[in-house]
């Protein structure tokens, strides 16, 4: 927009000599400044887009590792629950076997005692 104003003003201002040369130099300088500013703004925007992209990629990379770790933790927790249930079941079975073997042992002792009493 500023560029268009400068071009129009240079067309309006005519004349010759030193004054018109100085005006032309100032306008050229202003045009160059505007172009440089536009290029700088464009470069800033591109740099910002690139920085955002890099940041997003880094976050995705870190989150991917975190997500995998979280899933592994959940799998381990489920395995712990399953192993705990299995351990409790085996403990109950072991207690039942111990009770049964103790009953058999007591019955055998009673049988031997009875045989010892009734044996002449």
Q: What is the pLDDT along the chain (120 residues), one digit of tens a residue?
A: 655 655 555 555 555 688 999 999 999 999 999 999 999 999 999 999 999 999 999 988 888 888 888 999 999 999 999 999 999 999 999 999 999 999 999 999 988 888 888 876
DSSP 13: -
- Structural contact between residues 27 and 10, judged by C-beta atoms closer than 8 angstroms: yes
Count of CB atoms situated within 10 Å of the CB of 31: 15
């Amino acid at each position: 927009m500023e560029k268009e104003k400068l071009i129009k003003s240079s067309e309006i201002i005519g004349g010759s000599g030193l004054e018109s040369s100085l005006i032309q130099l100032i306008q050229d300088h202003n045009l160059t400044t505007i172009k440089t500013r536009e290029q700088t703004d464009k470069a800033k925007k591109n740099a910002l887009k690139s920085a955002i992209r890099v940041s997003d990629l880094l976050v995705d990379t870190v989150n991917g590792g975190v997500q995998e770790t979280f899933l592994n933790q959940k799998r381990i927790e489920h395995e712990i629950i399953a192993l705990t249930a299995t351990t409790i079941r085996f403990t109950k079975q072991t207690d039942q076997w111990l009770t049964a073997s103790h009953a058999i042992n007591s019955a055998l002792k009673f049988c031997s005692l009875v045989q010892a009493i009734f044996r002449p």
